[in-house]
Structure 1
Amino acid sequence: RSASTCTRMGEAYPDFYHVKTPWGIKRFRMGDRCTNPLDSWPDPEVYLHYPSRQMLAYMDIRNLNRTWPGRPNGAITERTTWAMTQLIRREKVDMAVDLHEAELEYPVENTIVTHEKGQSVAAMTSMVLTAELFEVPLSMEFSPQALHGLSHREIGDHTDAMSLLVEVAEPMIDRIRGITDEYLLMTGRDEFVMKAGEHKLLYAPIDERGWPIDVRVGRHSSTFQKMLEFYSLEAPDRAVIISGVPGYTEVIENTLGTYFHDPKQAPPEKVFYD
């Protein structure tokens, strides 16, 4: 909740973004993955990760993907990841998937990063989606064993779950982008990022089509569903079967807004206010 009250400091992100649906416009608050500094103050000179004691950047004490597995008496972000670690243990979670977007200047792009436990699931997902569905290939990398705090390393090390993280291209995060507005967020189109691509400075392709939100959501949806499929083949006694979930092709063809329910049609007894 804290991270939903702020955006990345100094980046001039919009406060809100909007998705067109058949019943109107759905508004989302633009948040961050880092805890609001007003809720976690002060930052240390150096963040000492627990329990590895690896030294990380000072702001990473608020970074939800640098504080795993967390601790119950730490800062608020450490307490949050500790709570999620306990949830994974108590619910006997078999597979934890972390969905991310990354700048095109970042080498780990359009990639599954996997703990050793998820090697076969990640490899098969990467191979099949690259061959059969995605225009831009989905690669696979192993989680670095010496880099601590990340979900794909610590969940696998500290729980019984296999842990995987998936990246998709997001020009809005690139340092060389132009105006940082809702148009860039939703369309993924930016002439400056395209120019960098022409000079071979990027790790993902980009053209005038950009990386629209429908493509990004569709890739994540199909990747997650394919992971479940291959996990279920490996563990048929604990198979996870889902249906009716739109994937890459459906989200692009129908647009993301098609799949949002009208909140005004929700049963009153299922509506809660925070």
Structure 2
Amino acid sequence: MHFTLLSPQQQTELERALAQQHGRVLALELAGEAVIVKRQEGRNRPLAYSLLNLLARSLRQPLLCAVPAPGGAAGQAIEARRLQTLHAAGVLVPELLAAQPGYLVMRNVGKTSIDHLLAHQPADQRKVWLAGLNAILATHRCGQALSQAFARNIIFHAGQVHFIDFEDDPLSVLSLAEAQSRDWLFYLHSTSYLLRAGPAEQAQLLARYLRQDDPTVQQLVTRSANTLAWLRHLPKQRKPWGRDVISLQGAAATLHAYRCLDAPGPLAP
């Protein structure tokens, strides 16, 4: 897929910037328009997939199995196609402005991710976290799934949520309901440990949105909660265990509280 919506002036400025800057992701202004340029990523190692799949099988969680991300030209083509599909469906993603050999150009939708805001603006945690939950639900109502629904890939800017990073396609190995369930799990994994709200409160808030999703998605998340709940007994201290351990502990604690809820809460405001 090769195309461009850039003007000749923008293309000239882009080529100059690419020759002078060698980072993989560049934030540029082209004729006054803020854009993100994303160069191709190298091919991922199959060993990484094998390790993740081994972990998923040991936890009896097929939803957590690695989605192939080929990198290179194939990975760029996947991202270009997914951006266009999601944008056409009404999901808030960066508009694709150009796809050329070696790079993509997207409209810049902001630079502040939800995980950054949760960590550094505690007074706004509830608003930001709920915005992410609402955006995931809205994506699913569009008949779409995200795959990499980690908080680092969710931009919150000017009151709007945008999703980024689409170098894989979960529907290549999962059903739509499985991919959508995975979105909820990944969002919890990347946010629960950062929140001041405890697991019970998180579970109540989660229920307001998740219980508006497709019943099959709800069932898959509950099944995952039943399998992963024991991980709530992992250590809660980041030192010396590291973020991976406390992320799992936080998500598992919220999932355990969620599966214990008796009835849906009221719709979120």
Relative to its length, the structure with more helix (as a share) is 2
For normalisation by structure 1, the TM-score amounts to 0.28
